[in-house]
Chain A
Amino acid sequence: MSKARVSPLRSGFVHLALAGYTVIALFPVLLTILNSFKDRNAIFRTPLAPPTANTFSLVGYETVLKQGDFVGYFQNSLIVTVVSIFFVLLFGAMAAFALSEYRFKGNTMMGLYLAIGIMIPIRLGTVAILQGMVAAGLVNTLTALILVYTAQGLPLAIFILSEFMRTVSDDLKNAGRIDGLSEYAIFFRLVLPLVKPAMATVAVFTMIPIWNDLWFPLILAPGETTKTVTLGSQVFIGQFVTNWNAVLSALSLAIFPVLVLYVIFSRQLIRGITAGAVK
């Protein structure tokens, strides 16, 4: 154990600095949420005050829910994110198992090939992706987004999961083989349950960029019925620039699910980053 010999003065400065930055990080978010519950006058006259009985107003939320189809946008985002994560985890784990478990010709080459996508962003292929989606008749469908996000998430998922699968004991798998389990049963029944924590980490890492992406929804699925929350709020806020109540409420609505998820999963997420990301 290293001894914490921090002088009170020094630890005071540290707390001052950290608390100061915490305010910088949280203030804009809190300001937006607080003001979304106030009427127009109060937003401008006392922007820093919390809503009181006099200034409380939900007019912004009423506008947003009446004018924009936010429920539909949420649904689209949810479908795209959940289905993509499912395929990334399933196909990623399968490929990671093949790469870490078996020796076969071209194993290393396959590993390298699948790792290209960790560093090279999928966006650079957009010109041809759009062309392909047009040819396949998938423009303005959620399927197009799911395909792109699955491909985008696979490289990192395979990389992280194969690192973890290497740590699963060989004895266990060989015992399974002696008992007559097929390779598929060994994967699904023995290995997958053991790498669950790694799967959770991968799920969180995969989820954030998908939920927040603006580029592909804008290019592949800009139609009203396929808009995701990110694109939906972008378009909606763009139309209501001068209606501050509506803008602040739309922003708060978009922040809210992220905030709830973060409060629930922050431990998992931070543990994932601090355990697996730096080697």
Chain B
Amino acid sequence: MSSATMSEDSIQTLARPKRWHILVFLLPAFIIYSAVMILPLVETLRLSLFNTVDGQSTFVGLANFQVLFGEERWAADFWRALKNNFIFFAIHMLVQNPVGIALAAMLSIPKLRLATFYRTAIFLPTLLSFVIVGFIWKLILSPIWGITPFFMDLVGLKSFFAPWLGKPGSALIAVSLISVWQNIGIPMMLIYAALLNIPDEVIEAAECDGVTGWSQFWKIKLPLVLPAIGMVSILTFVGNFNAFDLIYTVQGALAGPDGSTDILGTLLYRTFFGFQLQLGDRSMGATIATVMFLIILAGVSLYLFGIQRRVRRYQF
């Protein structure tokens, strides 16, 4: 913006003090966004400080949180869901993002044949709904159909097959890997785009200095796409800490077997909405939603103020 446009703007402001069109342009989005998203969010945070005492909604301060963190009936479920959620996130970070980066690195090799085909095919699962993905994998991993044991037999590992989704020890890992399978397209595409944005001169300069192949990837390309990796990580974090659909589809609202795949999203659903014999509890639902909000807020703030500021951005 030059100073010319600024003075022109101020003249306009003087001549027409009320610019109604700005209001008209902003208002519809502002109203819907505020009414359906921001106000309910604030109201949910407020509800977490209230509970029903003698049939009346009463301000109880942080008592709901004390119950959630400390009272036997709630605390066990809550801490397990929180722990599972962190494992769920850790598996995504350890499997989804490195494999995604590797795929992106291979796809970005110049003049690679069939690159468009690979890219299109690998991105397909990301577009399917959790419901489809959940049921497909439930069928494939099912011992009744026998697809997985058949393939493990081919490589001589049949004895290692187990109904992974049905065992408390392995169910969470199995569900996480299904989610990784579905979402791998996102890190792949974002990092692929970042790799393509590296200018040819930088790569040529590296080649002139004899930096090629692996060392080129580690020393030149990877540092240049760190901002994209940071963004993928925060997207994964937010997505994982409000995940629900896949686990609900594969393991049901009880997140079986024996609650071993329960994460915050499924806990919120059962608590707020009720399930089978359990009645819905609005206040405790709001309390869990508030905890999820604080976790996501903490993660996003850490990213915005801690990581994103430090990662050096290269201007080309």
Q: Which residues of A contact B (CB under 8 A)?
A: 1-6, 10-11, 14-15, 17-19, 21-22, 24-26, 28-29, 31-32, 43-44, 47-48, 87, 90-92, 94-95, 97-99, 102-104, 110, 113-114, 116-117, 119-129, 131-132, 147-148, 150-152, 154-155, 158, 170, 182-184, 187, 208, 211-215, 219, 230, 233-234, 237, 244, 247-248, 251, 254-255, 258-259, 262, 266, 270, 273-275, 277-278
CB neighbours (8 Å) of A208 from chain B are 127
* Min distance, Cβ A23 to any Cβ of chain B, angstroms: 9
Verify if B161 is at the interface (C-beta below 8 Å from A): no
CA distance A277 to B197 in the complex (A): 12
Which B95-138 residues have a C-beta within 8 angstroms of A?
99, 102-103, 106-107, 109-114, 117-125, 127-132, 135-137
A270 interface neighbour in B26, B33, B38, B189, Cβ under 8 Å: B189
Alpha-carbon distance between A161 and B268 when the two chains are bound, in angstroms: 34
Taking CB atoms, residues of chain A closer than 8 Å to B146 are: 44, 47
Q: Contact check, A233 vs B121: say whether CB atoms are below 8 A apart.
A: no
The 6 A-B residue pairs whose C-beta atoms are closest, nearest first, are A125-B40, A212-B129, A128-B43, A128-B40, A98-B25, A151-B36
Report the separation of the CA atoms of residues A71 and B244 in the bound assembly, to the nearest whole angstrom.
26
Q: Is the Cβ of B296 less than 8 Å from the Cβ of A119?
A: yes
Would you list 8 pairs from A and B whose C-beta atoms are within 8 A, ordered by A residue?
A32-B136, A103-B6, A124-B289, A128-B44, A131-B282, A132-B36, A237-B131, A247-B139
Q: A4-B111, A102-B22, A274-B189 are in contact. Are A24 and B296 (CB under 8 A)?
A: no
A31-B145 Cα distance, complex, nearest whole Å:
12
| Cα(A127)–Cα(B139), bound, Å | 34
Is there contact, CB below 8 Å, between A154 and B32?
A: yes
Given contacts A95-B30, A102-B22, A125-B289, contact A230 B131 (CB under 8 A): yes
Give CA–CA (A32, B269) in the complex, Å: 30
Minimum CB–CB distance for B314 against chain A, Å: 12
Alpha-carbon distance A59/B35, docked complex (angstroms): 47
Residue of A nearest to B300 (CB): A119
Identify 18 new A-B residue pairs, CB closer than 8 A, beyond the known A98-B22, A102-B22, A127-B285: A14-B106, A15-B114, A21-B99, A22-B118, A25-B125, A28-B136, A31-B147, A32-B139, A48-B150, A95-B29, A117-B37, A117-B38, A127-B40, A132-B35, A148-B36, A184-B24, A234-B249, A258-B128
Nearest chain B CB to A147 CB, angstrom units = 5
Asked if A237 and B33 make an inter-chain contact with CB atoms under 8 angstroms apart, the answer reads no
Alpha-carbon separation in the docked complex, A3 to B9 (Å): 50
- Measured in the bound complex, the distance between the Cα atoms of B125 and A66 in whole Å is 28
Contact across chains for A121 and B238 when beta carbons are under 8 A apart: yes
B145 lies within 8 A of A47 (CB): yes
Contact of A215 among B35, B196, B245 (CB under 8 A): B245
CB-defined interface of B256-284 with A at 8 Å, one 1/0 digit per residue? 00000000010011001100000000100
Q: What is the chain B residue whose CB lies nearest that of A113?
A: B38
Residues from chain B with a CB closer than 8 A to the CB of A127 are 40, 43-44, 47, 272, 282, 285-286, 289
In the docked arrangement, what's the CA distance between A44 and B33, Å? 50
> In the complex, which residues of chain B have a beta carbon less than 8 angstroms from the beta carbon of A129?
36, 40
| Cβ-defined contact, A274 with B196, below 8 A | yes
| B181 within 8 A of partner (CB) | yes
Chain A at the B interface: mostly helix, strand, loop or mixed? helix
CA distance A273 to B232 in the complex (A): 13
The verdict on A124 contacting B190 (CB below 8 Å), with A22-B118, A170-B5, A208-B127 known, is no
Distance of A219 from chain B, by nearest CB (Å) = 7
Q: Which of A31, A48, A147, A262 contacts B127 (CB 8 A)?
A: A262
Residue of chain B at shortest CB distance from A265: B127
CB closest residue in chain A, given B1: A103
Judge whether B28 is part of the interface by a CB distance below 8 angstroms: yes
Task: Please determine whether B131 and A128 come into contact, CB atoms closer than 8 angstroms.
Answer: no
Does B152 reach chain A (CB closer than 8 Å)? no
Residues of A within 8 A of B272 (CB): 126-127
Q: A22-B122, A184-B21, A251-B132 are in contact. Are A2 and B32 (CB under 8 A)?
A: no
Write the nearest CB–CB distance from B201 to chain A, whole angstroms: 9
Which residues of chain B are near A126, meaning CB under 8 Å? 40, 44, 268, 272, 285, 289
What residues on A are CB-neighbors of B30 within 8 Å?
95, 110, 114
CB-defined contacts of A47 to chain B, threshold 8 Å: 145-147, 150
Least CB separation from A97: chain B residue: B25
A175 to B233, CA, bound (A): 45
Q: Which residues of A contact B197 (CB under 8 A)?
A: 278
CB-defined contacts of A19 to chain B, threshold 8 Å: 118
Tell me the smallest distance from the CB of A184 to a CB of chain B, in Å. Answer: 6
Give Cα distance in the complex from A116 to B123, angstroms.
Answer: 28
A110 to chain B minimum Cβ distance, whole angstroms, is 7
Residues on A with C-beta less than 8 A from B125 are: 25, 28-29
Taking a contact as CB atoms closer than 8 A, the residue among B28, B203, B238 that contacts A91 in the complex is B28
Chain B contacts of A25 at CB under 8 A? 121-122, 124-125, 181, 184
Point out the residues of chain A lying under 8 angstroms from B190, CB to CB.
273, 277-278
A24 CA / B182 CA spacing, docked (Å): 11
